[in-house]
Structure 1
Amino acid sequence: MHTMWKGAISFGLVNVPVRMFAATESKDVKFRYLHKACKTPIQYTRTCPHCDKAVEWDEIVRGFEYAPDQFVVLDKEEMESVQKKRSQTIDIVDFVELSEIDPVYYDKTYYLAPETSGLKAYRLLEQAMEETQKIAIARMVIRSSETLACVRVANGVILVETLFWPDEVRPTNELPNIQSEGNVTEQELKMAVTLIGQLATSFQPEKYVDEHRNEVLAMIERKVQNQEVATAPAATAKQDNIVDLMKALQESLKATKPAKRATRKKSS
């Protein structure tokens, strides 16, 4: 895994040196846009519609649109003056119950692994949080931006989950019809509760697979095997990559097929 951040968890007078790793990764099948006529990948350029020309990065500044077509421009020095200095600590400020945090606040999850020198402190924090059944609310800086975070323990690993700030969570009273009363009868409610009871089970994440992604990968694999491929004019010397593509596709399908079969067997 690639180390995304190095620092320490700080609570009280205790510092726990850790490294941070992304806990999740996207498995979406990514496509590139090609020119239909020649199958060349499309390029996107930064252009100014007023000057009708391409714009280099050193010609670009940041502007906040406070009214239609009205901007407050901030130069590099001004942006740097308000950016948070990079911090190397995850500062715990409170310990709370996990059930008190609505899942709507969760953003991204990261694993924290201990440095060799901090293994004892890491285990101390992990076991103390397990003992008290508490999770921590913390502040940290990622990419010069201050972030609210939740520190918790799962399967012997300390995780940090970035949280949305309270004013980033939209109020539910903005939703249409949410305040309206429905005419639910006692019999309808009883049937719904019975149905939920029949479908209730323990959460087993391995049961669930992205069937759409598997179907797309299988379709791509068939086309590669049948030589239904297009080569861009400037990429004729890179056909060896087809071997790597086939291997990647086959490994992806192999990793998900057993779970898919098990899911269907249980549902039958």
Structure 2
Amino acid sequence: MQTIWKGAVSFGLVNVPVKMYTATHDNDIPLRMIHRKHNEPIHYSRTCPKCEQEVAWEDIVKGYEYEEGHYVTFDKEELDELASETSREIRILDFVDLAEIDPIYYQRTYYLSPEETGAHAYRLLVEALKSTKKIGIANVTIRQKSSLAAVRVVGDVLSLVTMFYAEEIRDRKEIPNLPEAEKVDRRELDMARMLIDQLTGSFEPEKYKDEYRERLMEAIEDKIEGKEVKVAPEVKVTNVLDLMDALQASLKQLQPSDHTDKSASSSAGGAKKPEKRRKPHSKRTGA
């Protein structure tokens, strides 16, 4: 696993030297843009519209358009200096309860591991956060971008979650077509609560699958083998006008069937197991 950042977690006068690693990875299947006629990948070039020539990376700077057609520009060294990334510090400002933070603020999660000289301080911070059930709210700069962040424990590992600042969260008043507050029908509310109770369980992330990815991998394998691509069956949406009918139908779907022929099941040696779907391969292997 590649280190993407080195620095220290600081709170008060305590410094915990750490290395940062990405905690997640993109599992999308890479699809390139192909010219339909020649079956060749499309390439892009960095071209200046004024001289109509390709521009080398060393000749590119970043700029802010303060008036139409007028820019102030910054080279990499100037941006690095402004970002203060040389401080390499995850500075904890406050400790708060996890439940206080709305998930809308979260961006991306990273793991933090201790440097060789910081193992003791690292373990101390982990145990302190676990025992107090708190998380740290910190400032950090990663790759020239300053972020708010949450430092918390995942298992026995320190993690850092970059967060949006308050001004980056859009005001809910901007959302169109929100219904006005009104009194909810008591019977509908009771039915909705029953439906939620029926569907309530423990969070088991491994049981949720990326069905689109599975279908795409199967389609890729079918195309490689020259087979006809199977299209996912269309989901029929029933237009239920009465909300109570929809709630009752949903609850009925979740109830076990009362018409199961138990004698037939026992004589057949138990219920028939559903056939396993062919598991798609993430990569095609040669013969």
| TM-score, normalised via structure 2 length | 0.73
Amino acid at match of 1:73: V
SS for the counterpart of 1:10 is strand
Task: Return the offset for 1:6.
Answer: 1.5
Structure 1 residues 166, 196: closer, same or farther in 2, change over 3 A? Answer: same
1:59-208 aligned at under 5 Å gives the runs 59-66=59-66, 69-76=68-75, 79=79, 82-178=82-178, 180-182=180-182, 184-208=184-208
**CA distance in structure 2 between the aligned counterparts of 1:114 and 1:36, rounded to whole angstroms:** 50
Structure 1 residues 81, 151: closer, same or farther in 2, change over 3 A? Answer: closer
Deviations 1:212-247 (A, max 9, x none): 10111122123224499xxxxxxxxxxxxxxxxx97
Task: Return the offset for 1:160.
Answer: 0.4
Structure 1 residues 5, 74: closer, same or farther in 2, change over 3 A? Answer: same
Deviations 1:85-119 (A, max 9, x none): 42222111110111111111101100111223222
Aligned residue in 2 for 1:257: none
Structure ranking higher on relative contact order (CA contacts 8 Å, 6+ apart): 1
Contact 1:135 1:150 in 2 (8 A): yes
Unaligned runs of 5+ in 1: 229-245, 252-268
Task: Return the offset for 1:44.
Answer: 1.0
**CA distance in structure 2 between the aligned counterparts of 1:156 and 1:125, rounded to whole angstroms:** 10
Task: Return the offset for 1:143.
Answer: 1.2
Structure 1 residues 30, 154: closer, same or farther in 2, change over 3 A? Answer: same
Aligned residue in 2 for 1:249: 283
1:29-48 aligned at under 5 Å gives the runs 29-48=29-48
Structure 1 residues 111, 208: closer, same or farther in 2, change over 3 A? Answer: same
SS for the counterpart of 1:47 is coil
Contact 2:94 2:136 in 1 (8 A): yes
Deviations 1:113-155 (A, max 9, x none): 1223222211111111111111001111211232211000121
Alignment identity in percent?
46
Amino acid at match of 2:4: M
Structure 1 residues 63, 119: closer, same or farther in 2, change over 3 A? Answer: closer
**CA distance in structure 1 between the aligned counterparts of 2:9 and 2:79, rounded to whole angstroms:** 28
Higher mean alpha-carbon deviation, 188-197 vs 11-20, is at: 11-20
Pair member with larger Rg: 2
Deviations 1:134-185 (A, max 9, x none): 1001111211232211000121111100111111111111111336234531
SS for the counterpart of 2:87 is coil
Number of equivalenced pairs: 233
Amino acid at match of 2:186: E
